[in-house]
Amino acid sequence: MQANAPTVQGELERALGTILGHGVRIVLAGRTDAGVHATGQVMSFRSDTELDREAIRRGVNALLPADIAVRDVEPASEDFHARYSATGRTYEYRIRNAPQREPLERHREHWVPQAIDTAAMERATATLAGRHDLAAFAIGRSGERTIRRAEWHREGTLLRFEIEADGFLRGVVRGVVGTLLWVGRGHVTVERFGEILRGRDRSAAGPSAPALGLCLVRVAYDGPADDARGGDDE
């Protein structure tokens, strides 16, 4: 919630309150910075409404602005918490590596016209797997997280970076991508990327990649419990 700007949480609570006939405070699986997208965000709320889930979904979507939509509504157990019950999260970062930008995708991808060494970036990315203190890439506090998967996919001129972990600190994915772009542009070596990761010094890493290329694509509620309760912001 922000006092001086519209937010996803604020719009959802307003629409839900209208449909359900009472005030609602929602819990989101993770907070996202301004400009960051989410196609797999999950929220939870409590209500004693007799409306069925499809009526709630249709009613809320009718009241939401065009840039927010609810895909599905499901009943949950009493102890379910969208944030603390999550066992993993997956983010995607999109880079358009081409001389010409894609105007219709300008809000969803970071345009990099310069040539980049994607093979070097992939080698550096391989060092991310495992449990690390991610302070080198985070905004604010430090903390250990387990990165389960980090990989690049190329689709023509589009590069997609996917990273899955048990949790994230604020700014980590954008910090990782910005530093990997340093590797791709030859500013630092693959070996130096590993040293930056282990050094836990944010000032040694690259600048954060722009928010517009980042998207929360999946929140998992299966597998081992998240050891990083509450530390999942991008």
Active site residues per annotation: 33
Given a contact cutoff of 8 angstroms between Cβ atoms, the answer to whether 19 and 60 are in contact is yes
Structure tokens at 58: 């249709």
Around Cβ 88, how many Cβ atoms within 10 Å?
20
- Side-chain half-sphere CA neighbours of 73 within 13 A: 18
180's CB contacts (< 8 A; 6+ apart) are: 121, 124, 125, 161, 193, 206
